[in-house]
Amino acid sequence: MKTIICTICALAFAMSMTAQEENKTGWVVGEQESSFPGEMIEYAVSQARETIEGEDGPIVVSLNAMIFRGALRYFLSSKGENFVVDHLQMQRVLINIDDGRATNYALVGNNTYTSNSLTFDGSYKNQFKKLLKKGGKICNAVVEFEKSGQKTVSFNIEGLPDKFLK
């Protein structure tokens, strides 16, 4: 049930952000009311530096940090084409920050076979948070899309507000 609620909130969040405030680093930060009246979602979004030319048109990917009900989540979201996930609702994503060592993360999708979001869960969330805390400017991720195959996207991650690193 908790996973379903968080997935619904993440999708609602990714689809419509309001009260946005862009800081000087490329992150868009803000808050919006969740689908649960009176409860707010705080977010930070870094859109990929490149738009991918997919089989059916452009694909836009973003790296997201979200605080809802005291829980911090990190996830990738895609508009234009879904990510591929296996029967366990996971995709292995290769990530590195700046020129650091590339690490595989098992990110969780919200459907079987394809998903428009991939969430850093459990120990992978903690590993990713440690990388973000070390600092860096560019995060590169190799992800696989439903029709367009594997693509590399990069994000400006410099200056993520501290509340998303706790």
Structure confidence at residue 18 (pLDDT): 35
Q: What is the pLDDT of residues 113-160, one digit of tens each?
A: 999 999 999 999 999 999 999 888 999 999 999 999 999 999 999 999
Domain ranges for the chain, please list them.
2-164
Q: How many residues does the chain have?
A: 166
- Winning range, highest mean pLDDT, from 2-16, 23-37, 139-153: 139-153
